[in-house]
Chain A
Amino acid sequence: MNILETKGLTKVYGGITANADIDFALPRGKITALIGPNGAGKSTFVGMVSGRTPATRGQVLFEGRDISTLPAHERIQLGIAYTFQITSIFPRLTVYENVAIAARRLFGKDPALLQTKITRALEKVDIAVHAEQIAGDLSYGHQRLLEIAMGLVQEPRVFILDEPTQGLAEAEVTGFIELIKSLAGDATILLIEHNMTVVMGAADWITVLDQGMVLANGTPEDIGSNAAVQAAYLGKTDA
C-alpha cells in the first residue's frame, strides 16, 4: 500500500525538462531512497512533492487524495515534513526555540506536552545539551541534526530528507542510519542521498533518477547489480 504517489509529474524550466513524467510510489512505513547523479532532478522532484516548487503538470496523490493544487503549507499540515538540502534553520534563535516553532503548530495549545515533545526530539538527535545555544553558533553537523529534530517533532507521516548526511562526520552518519531506521514504521521516509553507505544501510527500496526520468526501481540488492544504474553513475557515454 502506497502512502504517496506521483503520476506524470513534470517540471520544465525554460526549455529544460528537469523532471519528465515521473510515476513514483512511496510504500507506507518503509525507507525509500531516491538516488541519482548530480542534476538528475532529485531535489526538483521532492520540491514538487512538498509543494515548494510548482509542477508544470502531473499529479501528487497523498493517501489516495490529489494534493496537486494545495499550497506547500497545507501539504505540510497533512503530515508531510521536509528538511532542506541546504541547512535552513532560524539561526538567531535558540536551538530550543527552533524546534518549538516546528512543534507549536501541532502542540501549541498544551504547554506541558509541547515541552515534552521538544525535549524528546532534541534528545533523539542527541543535541539536548545545546538547547539554550543560539542555533547559528552550532557546528554544521549539529545544525543538520537540529533540522532533523525540527522535522521529527512534527511526527510526520511522510518525512522527506534532502541529503541529510551531507557534511556529517563518519560517526554521526552511523548514528543517523540508526535514527532513521528507528523512525520508519510509524513514519514513511523518503531519503535523497548521495552517501551509498547510508542508502545501502538504511533503505528498503530505491528509486534511481537520471536526467529527470526514473531509471530503475528495486531493492538495494537489485539496484546494486543493475547495469544501467552503474552506467549512469560511472558516466558511460552510451548510457
Chain B
Amino acid sequence: MTLNAKSATLHLSVLAALVALFFVLPPYHSGNLARIMVLAIYAMGYNILFGYTGLLSLGHAMFFAAGMYGFGLSVNLGGLPLPLAFLTGMACAAALAAVTGFLALRTSGVAFMIVTLMFAQTAYLVVLYFGTYTRGDEGFVIQSADRMIMGVDLTSEGARYVAALLLFSACFLTLARIIRSRFGRTLVAIRENEERARMLGYDTGAHKLKAMILSGLIAGVAGAAYAMLFGYVGATFATVQYSIFPLLWVLLGGAGTTIGPLLGVFFMFYLIDFSSSLTTAYMLVAGVVLVLLTMFAPQGLMGEMRKRVFAWLP
C-alpha cells in the first residue's frame, strides 16, 4: 500500500469507528463522545501550530472563545440564522488569529508563549468588560428554539452526535490532506529547522502566519460548534485553563500526528470520568497517569506508536 492509501485507510477507519460507536454506545457515552469530538476539533487546530509548525501558543482559548462568542452573539443579539452565525464565528477566530499572529510571530520560543498568553488574557478581559452583551462569567444560553438547522433539532442526542461527527470529519479529513500537501510538509520543515527552510527559499514568516490563521480558524470552528451543540457561551472558555487543555491533549495523544488530538481528548476525558467515579481525589489519579505517560511515552500515545511500530503515521 502506498503512503497515501495507508493514510486514507487510517482516517476513514477512525471515522467509521465513530459512526459505529453511536449505534453501540449507551446514550451517556455517545453524549460524551459528541463533546469529545468537538474538543478534538479544538485540539486538531492547536496541533497545526504546535505539532506541525513547532510554535507553542498559550493563548488558543481566545480563538476558541472568538468562535464561540462570534457565533453566540450573532444568534442571540444579531438574530442570524445558524449557518451564517457559524461562519461569523469562524471569521472572528480567523481575524483574531491573523492580528495576533502578525504581532506575536515577531517573537519566538518563550517570548511567543508569553505574548500569546497576554493576548488571550486581554481577550478574556474584553469579554468581561463588555458584560452587558456577553454576560461575563455567568455567560448566556442559546435557546433551544434557536438551535434548529433545516428543521433538525440540534438539542436531540442523535442530531447532536451527527452534527459533531460531520464537523469533526470535515476538519479531520481537511487537515489530513493539508498535512500531506506541500504547505504541510513545509510547516514540518520549519518545525525541524527554520533557518534551513528559509535558506531553501521558503518564506517562513508567511508560512507561520498562515499556520496561525488556520490553527485559529479551526479552534474557532470548535468554539462555534460547542456553543451550537451544547447551547452555552461563557467566559470560562476564554480563561487560561482552556489554553492549557489543548496543549495537554495534543501532548498526550501525540503532537504532530493526525489522530493524536482525538485520542488525547478521549483519553483525558475518560481518565477524569473514570477516576472521579473511584475517588474524590480524582485529579491525583489523573496526575499520576499523566506523569507516567510523560515518563514512558514522552511523544504521546501516537508518537510512541509512530516510533515503535508505524513509522508512516501521518
- Is B198 touching A104 in the complex (CB atoms < 8 A)? no
The count of A-to-B residue pairs whose CB atoms sit within 8 angstroms is 53
Q: In which size bucket is the chain A interface? A: 20 to 34
The distance in angstroms between the C-alpha atoms of A82 and B200, with both chains bound, is 8
Q: Number of contact residues on B: which range applies?
A: 10 to 19
Give, as a whole number of angstroms, the nearest-CB distance from B311 to chain A: 9
Q: Is B186 an interface residue (CB 8 A)?
A: yes
> Contact residues of A with B, CB < 8 Å?
50, 52, 71-74, 76-77, 82, 84, 88-93, 97, 100-102, 104-105, 108, 150, 154
Contact mask B162-189 → A, CB, 8 Å, 1/0? Answer: 0000000000000000000010011011
Contact at A73–B186, with CB atoms within 8 Å?
no
Min CB gap B284→A, angstroms: 35
CB of B138 within 8 Å of the partner chain: no
Pair B185/A101 contact, Cβ less than 8 Å: yes
B182 neighbours in A (Cβ, 8 Å): 104, 108
Complex Cα gap A154–B52 (Å): 24
B198 is contacted by which of A73, A92, A100 (Cβ under 8 Å)? Answer: A73
| B196 engages A88 (CB within 8 Å) | yes
4 nearest A-B residue pairs (beta carbon): A76-B201, A90-B192, A108-B182, A101-B189
User: Is there an interface contact between A72 and B199, defined as CB atoms closer than 8 Å?
Assistant: yes
Chain A proximity mask over B21-43: 1 for CB below 8 Å, otherwise 0: 00000000000000000000000
CB distance from A94 to the nearest CB of B (A): 9
Contacts of A97 in B (CB 8 A): 185
A82 pairs with B186, CB closer than 8 A:
no
Query: Can you list 14 pairs linking A and B with CB atoms under 8 Å apart?
Result: A71-B203, A73-B201, A73-B202, A88-B195, A88-B196, A89-B193, A90-B193, A90-B196, A100-B185, A101-B185, A101-B197, A104-B185, A105-B202, A108-B182
Say if the beta carbon of B121 comes within 8 Å of chain A.
no
If A89-B193, A90-B193, A108-B182 touch, does A82 touch B199 (CB 8 Å cutoff)? yes
In the complex the two chains form, is B200's CB within 8 Å of A105's CB? yes
Contacts of B195 in A (CB 8 A): 88
